[in-house]
A and B are shown apart, each in its own frame.
Chain A
Amino acid sequence: MKHSRRKILLTAAITALSLHAFSAQATPVKIGIVGPFSGPFAHYGVLFKGGVESYLASQGGKLAGQAIEIIYRDSGGPNPGGTKAVVQELVVKDKVDYLGGFIFTPNAMAIAPIIQQSKTPTVIFNAATSAITAKSDYFVRTSYTLWQVTVPEAQWAAKQGIKRVVTAVSDYGPGIDAENAFKSEFTKQGGQVVESIRMPMSTKDFAPFVQRIKATGAQAVYTFLPGGPPNLGFVKAYNQNGLADAGIRFLGTAEMDEFDLQKFGDDAIGLTTAFHYSAAHDSEANKRFKSALKATAPEAVANYASVGAWDGMYVIEQMIQATKGARDGDKAMAAAKSLKWESPRGPVSIDPQTRHITQNVYLRKVEKTADGLVNREIQNFGAQRDHGTKP
């Protein structure tokens, strides 16, 4: 009796194991994509989805020979609690093998314990605070950090003989991050930050701040503003109050992003920014990316968010390749850490220490062409690691 019960158990176990092995072959690899698909930030969701779908389509609908199932989940705006709930559901109920997406830093921070415990490799397509990837061993990031693009810009400004700069940033996390990055590097280079202005998030009329910038007599203004109304308002005020004419140079990062760029009109011509991706980057990889995006998701523009998603999908593909479609978070992460490839933005690699993308940062100037405004890359600062973390 005892003997036969053991036998039954053993048979059951073997059957279950073989069934499991079988199902691992047949079921598609599941990828959960989390981003804002509704509300005021829904355009980021469109950009993520465009990047993801067009990459998948460019690979014939399969990644590394494996069938793929993508599950999109809405995080809304900055909402750590809601994002945590959504990711928990993806991990526990849908049993996703990989996660991708994430626009806002607090949302990405909130899910670190879940992916750490479940060993789910998670590719951050956007959220740009340096500290995020340290929160879990399963984070890898294909976007940028403010330190990464600001430090070479500050070095360049100092080399141009600019001595006195005023910083004007929106008064919230990334703005303060940008201010610190510029200040620390520019002072190290012997420059002087004459005034640091923090503009409230609720600001509608930027004229007062622009007048204050003018009054400092600085040679340039380093600025960081969130995309959309604040960004448009500031650039407009910069022009309307004659700062460019007064010889105060504009030093930005993400301000001239392709999603907002055409809306500035002629106001934007000649403005300089330092950034990792320009839709006007001249390379075969970028042409492939743009035509794939146009064919699959014409509603999405080629910018830092869609290219972050595109490269993020490449990283996931390589992780699937390394694990042959099986679920093995540690093996997948080990593969991700040694990646090096040609992205639409230029040659990139994953820094094994920070799991953040190492990439070229370019100095760009807005130019008017027949197709509208473009960010023309005029200088390549070379490969930059995330300067926001200790080497």
Chain B
Amino acid sequence: MEELALNILIDGTTYGMVLFVIAVGMSVTLGLMRFVNLSHGAFAMIGGYVTAHCIQAWGFGFFSATLLGVLFTIALAGTLEHTVLRHLYRRSELTQVLFTIGLSFFLIATTNAIAGPQIQLIALPDWLNAQVDLGFRVLPAQRLLVIAVGVIVLVAISYAVAKTRFGVWLRAAVDNPDAAASLGIPIRLVQSTTFACGAALAALGGVLGAELMPLEPFYALKYLVLVLVVVAVGGMGDIKGTFMAAWLLGTIDTASQYLASSWGGIFFFVAMILFLARRPDGILKARET
């Protein structure tokens, strides 16, 4: 019985961290920039593909390949932001949704044309593939890395938004761009940097999450619902909320697989409905009365 509870806790936490790492970039662009970027999954996919290619074709190590994947995604997202996407910031949300969904389809077709429809695997170094013995069971070392990265990302972004000057600029630029610009805040720099950060986090999530969500051309849309659920339950732009949401939803999903798998994935969505009904503004924010 205790072993079952421990299993649920361990697998739930690791799955939750994978969800968090994949969703946190979306929380940054959607929540902090208020830009509905549904091509988030496509950026994650591109980061993963570039990393996989660097390892397979060019023999890079795991970390340098991940770095290249993230940098490539930043460059691509930065270019797109500068040439096209920035014109959408002041447009309606529907325009943003339609455009970024279209962009996703475009990137899916491009990926399919270049790399083919088959799944791409990111080869892990031996020490990440190793099994860590927890006494009563084993756990792949890769999951421990994901947990560590999840915690680092949580701390780093919370600090950057709350404590740094850049965070102040960002909040000002989002709340009132005109006033912020007249105060001398470099609006465009803030926007580009934040968007690039969101894309970088997407790429990181694509690489680290690939163990559970393998890379394929339809990746861009396949896991979008999952990401949107985590971001919505966590609350727009609330990084700590996204963390908690990912953890809770991951644990609930894992528990249902241990205890009631014949019900399918229903508990994940029931939990989403309940959380959103009780805390529509985010899991850590009490409803305003």
Task: List residues of A whose CB falls within 8 A of some B CB.
Answer: 39-40, 42-43, 46, 171, 197-205, 207-209, 211-212, 214, 228-229, 232-233, 236, 240-242, 259-260, 263, 265, 299
Q: Does B191 contact A (CB under 8 A)?
A: no
3 tightest Cβ-Cβ pairs between the two chains A and B = A208-B257, A200-B264, A240-B140
Q: Is the CB of A211 within 8 A of B258?
A: yes
Q: Does B211 contact A (CB under 8 A)?
A: yes
Q: Does B164 contact A (CB under 8 A)?
A: no
Q: Is the CB of A211 within 8 A of B261?
A: no
Bitwise interface map of B from 15 to 44 toward A, beta carbon under 8 Å scored 1, else 0 = 100100000000000000000000000000
A208 to B261, CA, bound (A): 10
Q: What is the distance, in angstroms, from A261's C-beta to the closest C-beta of chain B?
A: 11
Q: What is the distance, in angstroms, from B274's C-beta to the closest C-beta of chain A?
A: 19
Q: Does B242 contact A (CB under 8 A)?
A: no
Q: Which B residues between 75 and 124 are near A, CB-CB below 8 angstroms? A: 112, 116-119, 121, 123
* Contact A40 to B131, CB < 8 A, known contacts A209-B257, A211-B258, A263-B119: no
Q: Does B156 contact A (CB under 8 A)?
A: no
Q: Which residues of B contact A46 (CB under 8 A)?
A: 117
Query: Beyond A40-B216, A205-B15, A214-B137: 12 further Cβ-contacts under 8 Å?
Result: A199-B261, A203-B257, A205-B254, A207-B11, A209-B257, A228-B214, A229-B216, A233-B214, A241-B137, A242-B138, A263-B119, A299-B116
Q: Is the CB of B119 within 8 A of A229?
A: yes
Q: Is the CB of A208 within 8 A of B11?
A: yes
Q: Is the CB of A265 within 8 A of B123?
A: yes
Q: Is the CB of A208 within 8 A of B254?
A: yes
Q: Which residues of A contact B254 (CB under 8 A)?
A: 205, 207-208
Q: Does B7 contact A (CB under 8 A)?
A: yes
A240 to B7, CA, bound (A): 15
Q: Is the CB of B213 within 8 A of A229?
A: yes
Q: Is the CB of A40 within 8 A of B212?
A: no
A229 to B118, CA, bound (A): 10
Output the nearest chain B residue to A199 by Cβ-Cβ distance: B261
Q: What is the distance, in angstroms, from A267's C-beta to the closest C-beta of chain B?
A: 9
Q: Can you list 23 pairs linking A and B with CB atoms under 8 Å apart?
A: A42-B112, A43-B116, A46-B117, A171-B262, A197-B261, A199-B257, A200-B257, A201-B264, A202-B264, A203-B257, A204-B15, A204-B212, A205-B14, A207-B254, A208-B254, A212-B258, A228-B119, A228-B216, A241-B131, A241-B140, A263-B118, A263-B121, A265-B121
* Contact A232 to B137, CB < 8 A, known contacts A197-B261, A203-B257, A208-B254: no
Output the nearest chain A residue to B3 by Cβ-Cβ distance: A215
Q: Is the CB of B265 within 8 A of A232?
A: no
* Contact A43 to B7, CB < 8 A, known contacts A198-B262, A211-B137, A242-B138: no
A240 to B131, CA, bound (A): 7
Bitwise interface map of B from 120 to 149 toward A, beta carbon under 8 Å scored 1, else 0 = 010100000101000001101000000000
Q: Determine which of B116, B212, B216, B218 lies in contact with A205 in the assembled complex, contact meaning CB atoms within 8 Å.
A: B212
Q: What is the distance, in angstroms, from A298's C-beta to the closest C-beta of chain B?
A: 12
Q: Determine which of A171, A240, A259 lies in contact with B118 in the assembled complex, contact meaning CB atoms within 8 Å.
A: A259
Q: Is the CB of B211 within 8 A of A236?
A: yes
Q: Which residues of B contact A199 (CB under 8 A)?
A: 257, 261
A14 to B138, CA, bound (A): 82
* Contact A43 to B213, CB < 8 A, known contacts A197-B261, A209-B257: no
Q: Which residues of A contact B257 (CB under 8 A)?
A: 199-200, 203, 205, 208-209
Q: Which residues of B contact A204 (CB under 8 A)?
A: 15, 212-213
Q: Which residues of B contact A229 (CB under 8 A)?
A: 119, 213-214, 216
Q: Is the CB of A198 within 8 A of B138?
A: no
Q: Which residues of A contact B137 (CB under 8 A)?
A: 211, 214, 241-242
Bitwise interface map of B from 208 to 225 toward A, beta carbon under 8 Å scored 1, else 0 = 000111101110001000
Q: Determine which of B14, B117, B258 lies in contact with A43 in the assembled complex, contact meaning CB atoms within 8 Å.
A: B117
Q: What is the distance, in angstroms, from B165's C-beta to the closest C-beta of chain A?
A: 39
Q: Determine which of B8, B131, B212 lies in contact with A233 in the assembled complex, contact meaning CB atoms within 8 Å.
A: B212
Q: Which B residues between 186 and 227 are near A, CB-CB below 8 angstroms? A: 211-214, 216-218, 222
A46 to B112, CA, bound (A): 13
Q: Is the CB of A171 within 8 A of B140?
A: no
Q: Determine which of A203, A208, A232, A242 lies in contact with B131 in the assembled complex, contact meaning CB atoms within 8 Å.
A: A242
Q: Is the CB of B218 within 8 A of A40?
A: yes
Q: Which residues of A contact B119 (CB under 8 A)?
A: 228-229, 232, 260, 263
Output the nearest chain A residue to B264 by Cβ-Cβ distance: A200
Q: Which residues of B contact A263 (CB under 8 A)?
A: 118-119, 121
